[in-house]
Amino acid sequence: MPRYRQQKSEARWRWWAAALAVAASVRLACLGQTTNVAVTPVADAFVRSLVPGDNYGAAGALSVSGSAAVNGSGQKNGLFDSLVRFPMAELAASLNGVFGSNSWMVTSAVLSATEVATPNNPMFNRGVGLFEIRWIASDNWVEGTGTPNAPTADGVAYQDLASLLSLRADVSLGRFTNSGVSGPASFSLALAGALVSNIVAGADVNLYLTAANGPVGFTFNSRNYAVVSSWPSLGITAVARPAPRIRSIERLGGNQVAIRFNTDSNWTYVVQGLDGLGLAVTQGWSNLFTVPATPFDHQAVFVDAMANQPRFYRLAIRQAGGE
């Protein structure tokens, strides 16, 4: 949500300019601080189209496979999809402790995995191709205890996907290509509003990985793999939210006023105005000037014509990507 700082001009512009100059010298000490946190899953499982009722929640691997992928013997084993659940409660509490409650923003989310290019089990397909990662709204799936050699019916299965997935609620976080080489892989996720909201609120993040073309056969270690460092992880980078401040309001010749402020990278800044205070301060604001998000900090100035009545100004900000 945007954060605001209300300022005033017209008859009292000199007093406000002086007050704002003092306020601008006070900055949050952690404004430039960056914190990185990685979270491992609390549940994960893959599902198969050829055996739609089987669960593989205790397998040591996850897999995403398209219709054209084959195993090491050239056999097609059907479609594979995977589900992964990441807990965000401790991460959100930790970042609230570092930056203050609701005083931080997410700047990146990266899914890391360890690819297994040549799986030993002939169940798994191989191949390089496209797959999609989606944030899904449903949390209503159970990991289960099935393995490739001993599938069960006590957890999520391919036949459950129709009830779990939603075209309206779920959000794509991007399409990616596996390398086809064993080793670490990272995928930078789009900062969709639903994903960011989950992270900030400390709610579980559920990801669904599915094939985006036929050749993909991407297998990677799960949370049941023996080596913890090879588990999937969701890496979150967070920084302190900037505090929007109008640096000065200066009266110019020709009945004009200049509103000056500093911008922080990757935020959109909007100068808003209100003619006359009225009864409802929170209503009636209009957008006067917008500075789009850029990768760099800079200084901005907006020149406005003096109104015939007191005009109030405030500075609104929002994160690039819509948070």
pLDDT tens figures, 42-73: 999 999 999 999 999 999 999 999 999 999 99
**pLDDT higher than threshold 90 for residue 307:** no
Question: What dihedral do alpha carbons 37, 38, 42, 47 form, nearest 10°?
Answer: 140
Residues 142 and 212 in one domain: yes
- pLDDT band for 200, please (50, 70, 90 cuts): very high
Q: Which of 220, 240, 260 is the last residue of a domain?
A: 240
pLDDT tens figures, 122-179: 999 999 999 999 999 999 999 999 999 999 999 999 999 999 999 999 999 999 999 9
Residues 119 and 253 in one domain: no
Residues 140 and 193 in one domain: yes
Nearest-angstrom CA–CA distance, 207 and 226: 22
What is the average pLDDT across 242-270? Answer: 87
Residues 16 and 159 in one domain: no
- Check which CATH number belongs to the domain holding 19 and give it: 2.60.40
Point out the least confidently predicted range of 15-19, 100-104, 186-190, 279-283: 15-19
pLDDT in the model for residue 7? 36
Query: For a pLDDT cut of 70, what percent of the chain falls above it?
Result: 86
Tell me which residue range forms the domain holding 314. Answer: 4-27+243-319
Nearest-angstrom CA–CA distance, 264 and 31: 10
pLDDT in the model for residue 317? 85
pTM: 0.75
**pLDDT higher than threshold 60 for residue 300:** yes
Point out the least confidently predicted range of 7-16, 28-37, 176-185: 7-16
Instruction: Answer left, alpha or beta for residue 235, where phi above 0 means left and psi between -120 and 50 means alpha.
Output: beta
- pLDDT band for 115, please (50, 70, 90 cuts): very high
Sign of CA dihedral 156, 158, 161, 162: negative
Residues 213 and 247 in one domain: no
**pLDDT higher than threshold 80 for residue 274:** yes
Residues 171 and 219 in one domain: yes
Cβ atoms of residues 306 and 257 within 8 Å: yes
Mean pLDDT of the chain: 86
Residues 220 and 259 in one domain: no
Cβ atoms of residues 20 and 315 within 8 Å: no
What is the average pLDDT across 24-39? Answer: 58
pLDDT in the model for residue 34? 87
- pLDDT band for 323, please (50, 70, 90 cuts): very low
Residues 118 and 10 in one domain: no
pLDDT in the model for residue 1? 35
Q: Which of 205, 240, 275 is the last residue of a domain?
A: 240
Of residues 265 and 169, more confidence is placed in 169
Residues 253 and 203 in one domain: no
Cβ atoms of residues 61 and 124 within 8 Å: yes
Residues 250 and 209 in one domain: no
**pLDDT higher than threshold 80 for residue 16:** no
Residues 142 and 169 in one domain: yes
Residues 146 and 248 in one domain: no
